Structure 1
Amino acid sequence: MKPAFWKEATRRSWSIIKPEVERHIHALWEKPELPAMEVAAARLLTEWLRGSGFDIEAPCCGMPTAFIARKRLGPGPCIAILAEYDALPGTANDAVPYRQSRGQRAGHSCGHNQIGAANCGAAIAALKTMQDHKIPGELIVIGCPAEEIVWGKVGLLKKGAFEGVDAILTSHGDYQNGVISRPCQSVVGGEIVFRGESGHGGSIRKTNALDAAELAVQSIERLRAHHFADTQVEHVLRVGGGIPNVTPDEARVWINARQADYDRTSEVYDFLVDVCKHSAQLVGVSFQHLFVSATHGYLPNDRLAEMMMANLQEVGPPAWSDEAKKWMQSLAFECAPNGAFDLDEEVGLYTEGVDPYGQDDGEVSWQIPLGRVNWAYPQQVPLHNWALTALAGYPGSYPGPLMASETLALSAIDLMLNPKVIEQAKEELTERTKGLTLDPPRVGAWETLTQNPEAFWDATWVE
């Protein structure tokens, strides 16, 4: 089959389902759900995929909000497209270019409503092309919960969800329109629980759990420059007491370490846990370490990236309207009143540098070749911010994820018809990991996040 023919056929298939992609972007945005609690999102996407011809396994791998949608049309490659659909606490906002106070309500401030719909739409369009033109192979969509705590794909990998997959495709919003073949950060994280004894705050007591938590955080900050200046450390105090005149009997600190080098990230995280343990001993309270997850950053794959870049060039950059760019400029001004409006309107291949974020599909990319296409948000709009929630729900922003969706559909068919590319991508992965011994996937909080995720988000969990 000549490239011009299958590309035209795939783009035609994708154009048919484009309105459904847009509808599902909006539907997911309207019902944001916290990681491991994405019940409505998983149901919405599986119903769409089932109605489009996929066979559904939901839930799967012991994870209530994970799913696998698959369709096999004879012998051939197995290509997986990932779907994400969780949201972040405290970032809710209407689709308006100004801040609205929404308390701790969740919002799609990383744009996973756009990822979930765009990636599922790409799979539906690719399947239609395969069926219409009798292209053999297996196409699957893996529904991945809890990306925001870099947990879901690590758990899916551990439970075998990626067995038999030859190559993986995905997308994400960022600050450039392009195909990404460069590392991002490794992330290791968990929660530290300090427990003491409650009592009247006016008394001198040596059993104040908050003292231990604050000592740990202060010690980490003091030690940063000399012990781990190369590694970013983030924390939140999840429990610290309810009223000043009651000595807190429990305090919880959630800590992440992130750095490009996975081994160094793990080393720093272990050091942080040890600092917390010693802080508890000094204060005279108990200590418990609750591990959440660990993930490598992306392992680049230039061969997949070259193939995807050719397809992205066929699609071209997002077709934002003048009205949409004006709206986005208003939003950018709210975030950075003195900054210039900067929105990437070209497409490119990005292979240099290290991206500052972490993704749990990074863990999977060390086992299976993974290709990724990004779409651009305005530079002045921060990820994980109310403004990104507003943007992700604004229909004028949809050309970005639509560009990615169409590129993924073309790339899936490209791989089905050109298994030599998959072979080359696997050879590249083997070369990049030569001589390395990879640890099994490290995932914690399993019982809580699969059976009682409310306890995780209420900060009452123990395992």
Structure 2
Amino acid sequence: MDERLIAGAREAWRAIEPAARRMIDYIWENPELPMMEYKAEAALSAWLVEHGFTVERGVCAMPTAFRAVWSNGEGATIGFLAEYDALPGQGNRMEPNRAPDGKRAGHACGHNLIGGADTGAAIAARHAMEALDITGTIVVLGTPAEEILWGKIAMFRDGAFDGIDVLLTSHGDYQNGAPSRPCLACVSSEFVFRGESSHGGSRRSQNALDAAELTVQSVERLRAHQFSDAIIGHVMRFAGFMPSITPDEVRLWFTVRNADFERAEEVYNLILPIAQDAARYTGTDFQEQFISASRGYLPNDAMAGRLHAAMEVIGPPVWDDDDLAFMQGLSEHCRPGQPFNLDRTTAIHTEGVDPYGQDDGEASWYIPLARANWAYPTGVLLHNWAATANSGHESQMKGGVFAGEALALTAIDLFTDHSAIAAAKAELAERVGGRELSPPRVGGFEVMTNNPEAFWDATWVSTDKLAG
């Protein structure tokens, strides 16, 4: 990459970095549940407008989604993905110990960093393009509800990704670098069992909890022989008030994960009739309330190589003694007595399968995607209060800043070398091969877009026409 382009991109990032830091802090201080990210969406949209982007808010009929566009003439179109939702029950003060802050949610997956860093990267790239007279178009997609693998699936289905040549994003992980490896596909659905309440000593009731427990027990009994290759998780979001009242409604939220999307769907379709049969055996009613599904990442070595080249220019995050002391304290709380381990290099990571799901994984099967990772200590668990504390601290701010600068530099590289984009598209086509792809179904659209509170307080009723 030309030194003039590198200097221009890095100068543009340095100019925007203070605002990116403030945005990262603001989103961390105001954690919001998926599809309820009103403050984050408003702040990011206003920031983009301030820098000359045309912003469509409420895109795809989703109140907390946006699509922002800035163009400097004909050329490639590069999309930046901003995430900003938080996780329920994971609020914590910025302390290296369990210190609940009384908030309903917390950024235990670091999406405050993604929202601020990725949006900042897009703004920096926009100013670098103008200064360097580079043509092309930047699209920033504000994508809510990643934590339930929902927002990008709905936005992709409804056209928000149309016309984008490549995608850039970021995320905290246990390694710094540019991954080119899959993560797990996931299918997510809520099963609702409805019976009749009565005295707990009665033998005549239709006990919804019996149906839910029978479902879980049956799934566990069959797992070893029918779907030992799948990772199956569940929570009961509502299971009654007290033992002397038989529950008349129980909600069982299932997720099925597998490296292969078709296999995850297949296993889900094995579990669904188990739940239906459990309802029949217990005399209860059953309703499937499908939520979402997503493929895992499609690796793209061409994109990862370009991103990692930018990281080599920048260098990995550099943590000072205060940063390390904070992260060591968190690690000791999560993994007492275990050695402290923190990646301080950068690399292209191709081995293995990451254990999480991501809804931009779905998009990566249609549009080449590169993701900048920055490192958490291995002792700090994601989706844990410790990750919330860490994502608000300077130690992780340095990771987000590293990722933002790398994305801005990569965008300028791609805008000025169309052969790199062509190579990424060719690799995607080769990896997809002859598969006929279609986006997964999107569940609960009406409630998610009009009354997401009902989803989170477990009172929602799906209007989707599904099995049940």
Q: Secondary structure at the match of 1:81?
A: strand
Query: Residue 76 of structure 1: CA displacement?
Result: 0.2
Corresponding residue of 2:306: 307
Q: Runs (4+) of structure 1 moved beyond 3 Å?
A: 101-104
Q: Deviations over 1:154-211 (max 9, x none)?
A: 0010000010000000000000000010000000010000000111112112400011
Amino acid at match of 1:47: A
1-side partners of 2:384 and 2:375: how far apart? 16
Query: Residue 364 of structure 1: CA displacement?
Result: 0.5
Amino acid at match of 1:347: T
Query: Residue 441 of structure 1: CA displacement?
Result: 3.1
Query: Residue 405 of structure 1: CA displacement?
Result: 0.4
Corresponding residue of 1:27: 26
Q: Secondary structure at the match of 2:187?
A: strand
Corresponding residue of 1:457: 456
Q: Does 1:380 align with 2:379?
A: yes
* Matched-pair contact (CA < 8 Å) for 1:415–1:421: yes
* Matched-pair contact (CA < 8 Å) for 1:241–1:248: yes
Query: Residue 137 of structure 1: CA displacement?
Result: 0.3
* Matched-pair contact (CA < 8 Å) for 2:205–2:246: no
Q: Secondary structure at the match of 1:187?
A: strand
Q: Does 1:280 align with 2:271?
A: no
Query: Residue 270 of structure 1: CA displacement?
Result: 1.0
Q: Does 1:228 align with 2:227?
A: yes
TM-score when normalising by structure 2: 0.97
Amino acid at match of 1:100: A
Amino acid at match of 2:225: H
Q: Secondary structure at the match of 2:296?
A: coil
Q: How many residues align?
A: 462
Amino acid at match of 2:233: E
Corresponding residue of 2:151: 152
Corresponding residue of 1:107: 106
Query: Residue 320 of structure 1: CA displacement?
Result: 1.1
Corresponding residue of 1:176: 175
Amino acid at match of 1:342: N
Corresponding residue of 1:139: 138
Q: Does 1:80 align with 2:82?
A: no
Amino acid at match of 1:61: C
Q: Secondary structure at the match of 1:61?
A: helix
2-side partners of 1:368 and 1:83: how far apart? 16
* Matched-pair contact (CA < 8 Å) for 2:197–2:205: no
Query: Residue 434 of structure 1: CA displacement?
Result: 1.3
Amino acid at match of 1:161: A
2-side partners of 1:402 and 1:136: how far apart? 25
Corresponding residue of 1:70: 69
Cα 1:445–1:197, aligned 2, differ >3 Å: closer, same or farther? same
Q: Does 1:419 align with 2:435?
A: no
2-side partners of 1:270 and 1:103: how far apart? 39
2-side partners of 1:103 and 1:307: how far apart? 42
Cα 1:278–1:102, aligned 2, differ >3 Å: closer, same or farther? farther
Amino acid at match of 2:392: G
2-side partners of 1:185 and 1:205: how far apart? 43
Corresponding residue of 1:327: 326
* Matched-pair contact (CA < 8 Å) for 2:89–2:106: yes
Query: Residue 395 of structure 1: CA displacement?
Result: 2.0
Query: Residue 439 of structure 1: CA displacement?
Result: 2.5
Corresponding residue of 1:271: 270
2-side partners of 1:399 and 1:374: how far apart? 12
Q: Could you list the runs of 5+ residues in structure 2 that have no partner in the other structure?
A: 463-468
* Matched-pair contact (CA < 8 Å) for 1:151–1:293: yes
Query: Residue 397 of structure 1: CA displacement?
Result: 2.3
Corresponding residue of 1:404: 403
2-side partners of 1:440 and 1:94: how far apart? 39
Corresponding residue of 2:336: 337
Q: Secondary structure at the match of 1:359?
A: coil
Corresponding residue of 1:162: 161
Amino acid at match of 2:178: V
Q: Does 1:10 align with 2:9?
A: yes
Taking the TM superposition and a 5 Å limit, the aligned residue runs for 1:417-456 are 417-456=416-455
Cα 1:102–1:193, aligned 2, differ >3 Å: closer, same or farther? farther
Query: Residue 231 of structure 1: CA displacement?
Result: 0.4
2-side partners of 1:274 and 1:102: how far apart? 41
* Matched-pair contact (CA < 8 Å) for 1:91–1:102: no
2-side partners of 1:88 and 1:164: how far apart? 31
Amino acid at match of 1:175: Y
* Matched-pair contact (CA < 8 Å) for 2:153–2:439: no
Cα 1:102–1:220, aligned 2, differ >3 Å: closer, same or farther? farther
1-side partners of 2:341 and 2:373: how far apart? 16
* Matched-pair contact (CA < 8 Å) for 2:129–2:412: yes
Corresponding residue of 1:367: 366
Query: Residue 148 of structure 1: CA displacement?
Result: 0.1
1-side partners of 2:407 and 2:77: how far apart? 15
Q: Secondary structure at the match of 1:398?
A: helix
2-side partners of 1:122 and 1:439: how far apart? 30
2-side partners of 1:162 and 1:75: how far apart? 18
2-side partners of 1:264 and 1:92: how far apart? 35
2-side partners of 1:433 and 1:202: how far apart? 57
Query: Residue 230 of structure 1: CA displacement?
Result: 0.4
Which one is further off, 239-248 or 449-458?
239-248
Amino acid at match of 1:306: G
* Matched-pair contact (CA < 8 Å) for 1:90–1:103: no
Q: Could you list the runs of 5+ residues in structure 1 that have no partner in the other structure?
A: none
Corresponding residue of 1:193: 192
* Matched-pair contact (CA < 8 Å) for 1:185–1:296: yes
